[in-house]
Amino acid sequence: MTAAVETSGIKVRQVSGGMPRLHIAIFIALLAAGAVAPFLLYPVFVMKVMCFALFACAFNLLLGYTGLLSFGHAAFFGIASYVCAHTAKVWGLTPELAILLGTAAAAVLGLLIGALSIRRQGIYFAMVTLAFAQMVFFFSLQAPFTGGEDGIQAVPRGNLFGLISLKSDFTLYWLVLAITLGGLLAIYRIIHSPFGQVLKAIRENEPRAISLGYRVNRYKLATFVLSAALAGLAGSTKAIVFQLASLTDVHWSMSGEVVLMTLIGGMGTVFGPLVGATVIVTMQNYLATFGAWVTIIQGVTFVVCVMLFREGIVGVISKWIKKPL
């Protein structure tokens, strides 16, 4: 994780003294951008960007801050989206409950998979998570409630708290914006809490952390579960927005996509995955007419990123202004 180490070389001074001013400014700017966006852009598109941004940030919590590369994060994203869609459609739950249940399902799955895989490191960790994700995919294909390759369609958006109808894209938009910013703030809090500092210590020198008396595996597992739950939150929200849950969400290429987003934005930075997700989703959306060119352009992006700026977009900016982002 050379790049991650490089960016983290710039230390955050204020651990307990609240957010640095720059970050407060960025959060306010994000909130402002979020408030303006639906009037300028197509709201459903912006919601999609937000769901993936949250997913990428959740993934980055694991990769960027504990150095564990999971190649199976689609499992959490997808299973949450299935559970959310099923509970909203078949059980008739209100959207907030369905989203919570989806998130909880992802957390439980994260606990199971995490407990088994965090003992492995590096590429072996990536492979174990991939193996489990493939089993989850198999389960999603076979289980009767997931609807096979048709997925769960026509999921009702329902009424928030049983009161506010989410049928209009605009109303739903504010909910998604709240969830995304909430998730982002939560991740920010986790990273800058004492818990987050221990994670950094582990990533930079695991034996030292052990010798200091930290139960390293517990910290890793806790992060894994948090990351899985937040990925689940993103997946559940996506199910409500698009009113469907499908195999695309659990397929391994989704796990690959989230790695791409994080890498492009800059792993180990708070705001990088957000930027990465925006870039990728926008690209997929506006290049959809070009057919096979999408694949080629994505491939070129990968290569260019790895060869020229491994710190990612935000990583480069952060180095440039000499402040952590």
Partner 1 sequence: MRNTGFLLASLAASLMATSALAQDISVKIGVLNDRSGIYADLAGEGSVVAARMAVEDFGAEAKGMKVEIVSADHQNKPDVASTITRQWLDQDGVNAVVDVPTSSAALAVNEIIKGANAAFINSGAGTADLTGVACSPHTVHWTYDTWALANGTGSAMVKQGGDTWFFLTADYAFGHALERDTTAVVEKAGGKVLGHVRHPFPGTDFSSFLLQAQSSGAKVIGLANAGGDTVNAIKQASEFGITQAGQTLAGLLIFANDIHALGLQTAQGLVLTESFYWDMNDSTREWSARFEKIDGDKPSMVQAGVYAGVLHYLKAIEATKTTNADEVVAKMKEMPTDDPLFGKGVIRADGRKIHDMYLFRVKSPEQSKGPWDYYETLETIPAAEAFRPMADGNCPLVK
Partner 2 sequence: MFELLGIPPQALFGQLLLGLINGSFYAILSLGLAIIFGLLNIINFAHGAQYMLGAFVAWMLLNYLGVSYWWALLLAPIIVGITGVILERLLVSRLYHLDHLYGLLLTFGLALIMQGVLRNQYGISGLPYTIPTQLAGGQNLGFMFLPNYRGWVVAASLVVCFATWFVIEKTRLGAYLRAATENPTLVSAFGINVPRMITLTYGFGVALAGFAGVLAAPIYSVNPNMGADLIIVVFAVVVIGGMGSILGSIITGFGLGLIEGLTKVFYPEGSSVVIFVIMAIVLLIKPAGLFGRTA
Which parts of this chain interact with partner 1 (CB under 8 A)?
Answer: 42, 44-45, 48, 141-142, 147-151, 153-154, 169, 238, 242-244, 246-249, 284-285, 288-292, 294-295
Query: Environment class of residue 63 by beta-carbon count within 10 Å: exposed (0-12), middle (13-18) or buried (19+)?
Result: buried
Select the residue interacting with partner 2 from 88, 128, 190, 229 (CB under 8 A). Answer: 128
CB contact at 8 A, 102 and 256: no
* 90 part of the interface to partner 2, by CB under 8 A: no
* 310 part of the interface to partner 2, by CB under 8 A: yes
Q: CA distances (Å), 123 to each of 69, 172, 266, in order?
A: 8, 40, 20
* 119 part of the interface to partner 2, by CB under 8 A: yes
Q: 112 or 150, CB closer to partner 1?
A: 150
Q: 38 or 67, CB closer to partner 2?
A: 67
Phi, psi of 160 (to 5 degrees): -65, 130
Phi, psi of 214 (to 5 degrees): -80, 135
Q: 165 or 295, CB closer to partner 2?
A: 295
Q: State in angstroms the smallest separation of the CB of 67 from partner 2.
A: 9
Q: State in angstroms the smallest separation of the CB of 148 from partner 1.
A: 3
* 131 part of the interface to partner 2, by CB under 8 A: yes
Q: State in angstroms the smallest separation of the CB of 37 from partner 1.
A: 14
Which span sits near partner 2 by CB under 8 A: 29-37, 54-62, 130-138, 185-193? 130-138
Which span sits near partner 2 by CB under 8 A: 19-27, 84-92, 98-106, 288-296? 288-296
Pick one of partner 2, partner 1, none as the site partner of residue 206 (Cβ within 5 to 8 A by kind): none
CB contact at 8 A, 103 and 306: no
Amino acid residing at 139: F
The partner residues of 152 in beta bridges, in order of sequence, read 245
Q: State in angstroms the smallest separation of the CB of 2 from partner 1.
A: 34
Residues 6+ apart with CB under 8 A from 173: 38, 43, 46, 47
* 281 part of the interface to partner 2, by CB under 8 A: no
* 256 part of the interface to partner 2, by CB under 8 A: yes
Within 188-207, which residues bind partner 2 (CB under 8 A)? none
Pick one of partner 1, partner 2, none as the site partner of residue 115 (Cβ within 5 to 8 A by kind): none
Phi, psi of 177 (to 5 degrees): -60, -45
Q: CA distances (Å), 61 to each of 13, 18, 149, 206, 304, in order?
A: 20, 19, 31, 17, 24
CB contact at 8 A, 80 and 105: yes
* 134 part of the interface to partner 2, by CB under 8 A: yes
Q: State in angstroms the smallest separation of the CB of 292 from partner 2.
A: 4
The partner residues of 222 in beta bridges, in order of sequence, read none
CB contact at 8 A, 250 and 75: yes
* 248 part of the interface to partner 2, by CB under 8 A: no
Q: How many CA atoms lie within 13 A of 190 on its CB side?
A: 24
Residue 268, classed as helix, strand or coil, is: coil
Q: State in angstroms the smallest separation of the CB of 126 from partner 1.
A: 23
Amino acid residing at 90: V
Q: 166 or 280, CB closer to partner 2?
A: 280
Amino acid residing at 325: L
Question: Residue numbers of the site for partner 2 (CB under 8 A)?
Answer: 1-3, 69, 116, 119-120, 122-124, 127-128, 130-132, 134-135, 138, 142, 252, 256, 259-260, 263, 291-296, 298-303, 305-307, 310
